[in-house]
Structures are given as C-alpha cells and as structure tokens.
Chains A and B, each alone.
Chain A
Amino acid sequence: GESVGLHLPTLSVQEGDNSIINCAYSNSASDYFIWYKQESGKGPQFIIDIRSNMDKRQGQRVTVLLNKTVKHLSLQIAATQPGDSAVYFCAEGAGGTSYGKLTFGQGTILTVHP
C-alpha cells in the first residue's frame, strides 16, 4: 500500500562520496522513467530520464539504471556535493492516450554533509 506522512526514506552521505538512490515502480507497462530533484520551497527539477528499451543512461555526474525484471530504478550521483541535498523523486510514465502522465514515487531525502 501507499506510505503517507513524513516518513520518507533518507540517505546521508559525506561530500565527495557517491550516492545511490533507489526506487521500486509498480506498473510493468510503464515505458518511461524520470528522476526529479526537489529543493525546499521549489518545484521538482528534471535530472535525467530513461526509456524502457534502455537499462542505463548517463548524464553529468548522474547515472540512471533500470532493471525491468524486478521493476527497480536507481539514481547514482557521483562526487556528491552539498548542493545535491534535496528530496529525490522517481516517476513512471506509460504511453497510450494519456502520454506524458507521470506517477510519482514517495521520494528520498538526500543529505550531504560537508
């Protein structure tokens, strides 16, 4: 079932470490996945996306891995910086008439210590 309230998963790392944020998705028909970063008082900011025909995609300091067998998505951040501290959301989307519709996960709080 859904988790509600303020009990978000948390991840604390030291500056310079690599961070891995995990996400389990629910819909096996989803064919588009996206990671967003949300800082306090701001809207979600696009980080990276991946289609279901790929299992890995790299951006600047970030890598997204997709395992469709177990419906798992991860975001790797290299050399994590204090400015990376935020809540990270994964979202899944499916094609069809509602293309572009995203279903968001619960979110993970990342705290980077100097």
Chain B
Amino acid sequence: EAGVAQSPRYKIIEKRQSVAFWCNPISGHATLYWYQQILGQGPKLLIQFQNNGVVDDSQLPKDRFSAERLKGVDSTLKIQPAKLEDSAVYLCASSRGTLDQPQHFGDGTRLSIL
C-alpha cells in the first residue's frame, strides 16, 4: 500500500510571501489531516477533513492559512502571507476515519521563512 505523499519536501520563502503544500492520502482513506510541527514539539492539528468537508479547523489561523480538499482526495494547504513563526514542518496524515483507525503520516514539507 502506498503511503501518504507530500510535496514539496522543502520550501524556503521570505516573509510575506505565499506558499502552498500538496498532499495525496492513502487510497480509500476518507479522513485527511494537516498538522504543524515546530522544531522540538509534537505535531499540532491544523485542520481535519472528512471526505471533502471540514470536520475541525479550530486551530487553523484563518487570517493567513487556508486548506481545501476538492473531490475528497488530494488536499492543499496554503499560507498567505507567511510570517517568521510559520517556520515548521507541515505534515499530512490520513485514516479510514473511525476512532481506532490509526492515522498514517507523510514525511512532511519543511518550511523555512527568511
């Protein structure tokens, strides 16, 4: 079974620029998550999709972050404009969507803001 695919692997931008990340979940996984992982910390959930609907976006900074999951498969996460504190690894995960089905993570996009 192919894992969660993310691109790009690395991105360097200047503050106030915009950036987008892409995620392709495991085939058949209805639930998709975006996490932010700051160096030295555990991942923090930004947004959760069930198919193409948002389940939880309570921790998404909506003034600058946006995400979509058109057609209930691939997803993109966008930051516009970026701030220095957005430097982090952005992880995408997917699961079958029930409580005891583990989330499987991609290797993330490492974002550096100059």
CB pair B105–A43 under 8 Å, yes or no, is: yes
- Contact residue among B31, B43, B106, B107 (Cβ-Cβ distance under 8 Å from A100): B31
Could you tell me which residues of chain A, from 87 to 102, have a CB within 8 Å of some CB in chain B? 89, 91, 93, 95, 97-102
Chain B residues whose CB sits within 8 angstroms of the CB of A107 once the complex forms: 40-42
Chain A residues whose CB sits within 8 angstroms of the CB of B72 once the complex forms: none
A20 → B minimal CB distance (Å): 19
B10 → A minimal CB distance (Å): 10
Bound form: Cα–Cα A45–B93 in Å: 11
Q: Does B55 contact A (CB under 8 A)?
A: yes
A63 → B minimal CB distance (Å): 17
Majority SS of interface residues in chain A? loop
CB pair A49–B100 under 8 Å, yes or no, is: yes
Provided the pairs A43-B105, A46-B102 are in contact, do residues A100 and B97 lie with their beta carbons within 8 angstroms? yes
Provided the pairs A43-B91, A43-B106, A98-B48 are in contact, do residues A93 and B99 lie with their beta carbons within 8 angstroms? yes
B96 → A minimal CB distance (Å): 9
Which of A5, A31, A100 has the most chain B CB atoms closer than 10 A to its own CB? A100
* Sampled A-B contacts (13; CB under 8 Å): A4-B41, A6-B40, A34-B103, A43-B108, A51-B100, A98-B48, A98-B55, A99-B98, A99-B99, A100-B98, A101-B56, A104-B42, A107-B41
A residues contacting B by CB (< 8 A) are 4-8, 31-32, 34, 36, 41-46, 49, 51, 89, 91, 93, 95, 97-107
